Amino acid sequence: MTLIRHELSLGKQTLFIWTAVIAGLMALCIFIYPDMEQQMQDIGDMFSNMGGFSAAFGMNQLNFGEFMGYFCVECGNILGLGGAFFAALSGISSLSKEEREHTAEFLLTHPISRRRVVAQKYGAMLLQIALFHAAVLAVTFLSVQSIDASPDWSMLALLFLAYFMLQIEIASICFCISACCSVGPGAGLGIAALFYFFNIIANLTESMAGLKYITPFGYAEGADILADRSLHLPYLAVGVLITISSILLALYRYHQKDIS
């Protein structure tokens, strides 16, 4: 637990800034919904009929005149992409920053096994993502209450669960990369962006639909979740498999690694 507390202490500023920015943007989008509601009903058809562009963002399946349709596109992108960036940054810097900043030598010459370092750092990263998510969820709940919207709460919870799983998967992949090589935070952001674009490409082209199995944005596609009223289990199963594999590979690789 010592290392978890230490990691939380080191990461508290980053966590606070990312949570404030994403929760703030979410609240802003929700607060402007009453003003946008009428306009959205008018332009909803236009948004839904822009061919490939609408398909790319799943807008062809959504009703913009309803709160959930609006939430999926506006807030979904903020939490989906913003949360993915935060998760990627948390994961990519977790282990590699120790080597980049030459603190690994200090840490690993204490009586703590490499496996315990990996486990506690991963635990700290999960806690940070959970705290981020809980804070954004709380702000979203209060914001929705304050505008008197009547969302489908079960769907809202499912969307948040999907984004939480997405963040864990991206963080785990980046954590694994961080255990294997010393890379900067830019690599994490790049990976998150790559997965986001994989989903767009999969939405645009039928022949590339298989990318949905690779990208966690596949099972966190708000339009699909609202339409199916559930997460697409095959995509989620692959995501869980990738997450577990990433953790195991990180454990194996970091245990073997020479610390330069």
Partner 1 sequence: MYAIQTFSLTKYYGSSKGIEDLRLTVEQGDFFGFIGPNGAGKSTTIRTLLGLISPTSGTARIFGKDIVTQKQEILSDIGYMPSESAFYQNQRVKDILTFSAALRKKDCTAQTALLCERFSLDPNRKIRELSLGNRKKVSIVCALQHMPSLYILDEPTNGLDPLMQQEFYAVLEERNRQGATIFLSSHVLSEVQKRCTHAAVIREGSLLISDRMDALGHASAKQVTVRGVDALPASDQIRNVQKTGDTLRFLYSGSPKDLLQTLSALPLTDLSIAEPNLEEIFMHYYAKENP
| Beta carbon of residue 127, minimum distance to partner 1 (angstroms, whole number) | 18
Shortest distance in whole angstroms from residue 250 CB to partner 1: 18
Find all residues with CB under 8 Å of 44, minimum gap 6, and list them. 63, 64, 65, 69
Q: What's the token pair of residue 148?
A: 């008197």
Distance of CA 40 to the CA centre of its chain: 27
How many Å apart are CA 212 and CA 28, to the nearest integer? Answer: 30
The nearer residue to partner 1, 103 or 146, going by C-beta atoms, is 103
Closest CB to partner 1 among residues 6, 36: 6
List 34, 101, 194, 237, residue binding partner 1 (CB under 8 A): 101
Q: Which of 36, 55, 108, 189 binds partner 1 (CB under 8 A)?
A: 108
Cβ neighbours of residue 125 closer than 8 Å, sequence gap 6 or more: 7, 90, 91, 94, 171, 175
The answer to whether 171 and 95 have CB atoms below 8 angstroms apart is no
Distance of CA 134 to the CA centre of its chain: 13
Stretch that binds partner 1, among 107-115, 122-130, 191-199, 230-238 (CB under 8 A): 107-115
Binding mask 112-131 for partner 1 (x = CB under 8 A): xx------------------
Q: Which of 6, 61, 147, 152 binds partner 1 (CB under 8 A)?
A: 6
Per the listing, tokens 């603190």 go with 103
Q: Is 141 exposed, middle or buried (0-12, 13-18, 19+ CB in 10 A)?
A: middle
Q: Which of 28, 34, 35, 106 binds partner 1 (CB under 8 A)?
A: 106
Quickly list DSSP for 164-230.
HHHHHHHHHHHHHHHHHS---HHHHHHHHHHHHHHHHHHHH-GGGTTHHHH-TTTTT-HHHHHHHTS
Work out which of 9, 146, 205, 230 binds partner 1, going by CB under 8 A.
9
Locate 97 and state its tokens: 């920053």
Part of the chain binding partner 1 (CB under 8 A), chosen from 30-38, 84-92, 151-159, 252-260: 252-260
Judged by CB under 8 A, the number of residues near partner 1 is 22
Nearest residue (CB) to partner 1, 110 versus 207: 110
Shortest spacing between CB 12 and partner 1, in angstroms: 10
Near partner 1 by CB under 8 A, which window of 7-15, 67-75, 174-182, 227-235?
7-15
Crossing angle of helices 153-180 and 114-146, in 10° steps, is 150
Is residue 164 classed exposed, middle or buried when 0-12, 13-18 and 19+ CB atoms within 10 A define those classes?
buried
CB closer to partner 1 out of 6 and 161: 6
Q: Which is nearer to partner 1, 100 or 135 (CB)?
A: 100
* Binding of partner 1 by 17 (CB under 8 A): no
Site for partner 1, rule CB under 8 A: 2-3, 6, 9-10, 13, 101-113, 256, 258-259
